[in-house]
Amino acid sequence: MTTSLTQPQIELYLNGLIFSGWKSLSVTRSLEAMSGHFELGIAVRPEDDVSALQVGGSLVLKMNGQTVITGYLDDLTQNISGTNKDIRITGRDKTADLVDCSVIHHSYHFRNQTVKQIAQVLCQPFNINVVWEVLTSKANDVIKVWQVEPGETVFDTLTKLARHKGILVTSDVEGNLVFTEPSTELKGELILGQNILELETTDSWANRFSLYRVIGDAEQGGEKGGKGKASAPEDPDIYVQDKENKQ
């Protein structure tokens, strides 16, 4: 979402200071991303001091009084030309540390632990809270053995854990790590011109073929000496099944 604002509705709380008057804002959050990110922009005079915008600082970004990001300032870009100085800053949720950093653990080995317990241990060095919103009881069953690859990021490990249990892992606006699951209920509608302001679609014929062949390294692509016919699907079909009508 990107919008231009004329009112100081965007407030950046950084290192005990409040910065407002921003002219552009872009915030991205997704269930598929462990960390949300943002970009802010403003034009000032070349002599204006922006040293208080220190990269690496803890921040809270609010829009119309509502928190949208709790995390850190990643980048500060200054573009100076003539009598103008354009400022652009970017940052991410606290959970960005889980994306960037490797697992910190004495053995990289877990035994008889739940996903939540493993996540709490992995997030503790980064001071990140774990929120469990999963209602499916099986998702909270203990995992007998879980081995972390040395050098693997926390993000990769947690993603594997979530996939193993069929759940989702993401973050919230407070910078917490959140485990959740797909909803079975319809939540609102997406309507162009109302809550969808802009839409772009692309229908492409690129990289689509009528014949796909799978070739193995043994005779017929199967067991040695096998006489079966090699697989060669043609014009593959895609079916969409409606859960209600079973069609």
pLDDT tens-place string over residues 47-58: 888 889 999 999
**For position 238, what pLDDT does the model report?**
54
Same domain, residue pair 59 and 104 = no
Spatial separation of the C-alpha atoms in residues 103 and 221, rounded to whole Å: 40
Same domain, residue pair 84 and 8 = yes
Same domain, residue pair 76 and 111 = no
Domain for residue 236, yes or no? no
Count of residues for the chain?
247
What percent of the chain has a predicted confidence (pLDDT) above 70? 84
Same domain, residue pair 43 and 29 = yes
What are 170-190's pLDDT values in tens digits?
999 999 999 999 777 777 788
Mean pLDDT of 86-109: 95
Higher pLDDT, 222 or 87: 87
Place of tokens 């910065």: 19
Nearest CA to 161 out of 182, 140, 175, 176 is that of 140
Mean pLDDT of 204-218: 84
Same domain, residue pair 84 and 9 = yes
Domain that holds residue 169: 98-180
Mean pLDDT of 16-29: 89
**For position 3, what pLDDT does the model report?**
47
Check which CATH number belongs to the domain holding 137 and give it: 3.55.50.10
Nearest CA to 171 out of 63, 64, 99 is that of 99
Check which CATH number belongs to the domain holding 60 and give it: 2.30.300.10
Domain for residue 198, yes or no? no
Q: Which of 180, 211, 235 is the last residue of a domain?
A: 180
pLDDT score of 76 more than 60? yes
Q: Which of 130, 146, 180 is the last residue of a domain?
A: 180
Domain for residue 152, yes or no? yes
pLDDT score of 202 more than 70? yes
Mean pLDDT of 232-237: 57
Q: Where are the alpha helices (DSSP H) in 11-170?
A: 96-100, 115-123, 154-165
**For position 246, what pLDDT does the model report?**
47
Q: Are 197 and 151 in contact (CB under 8 A)?
A: no
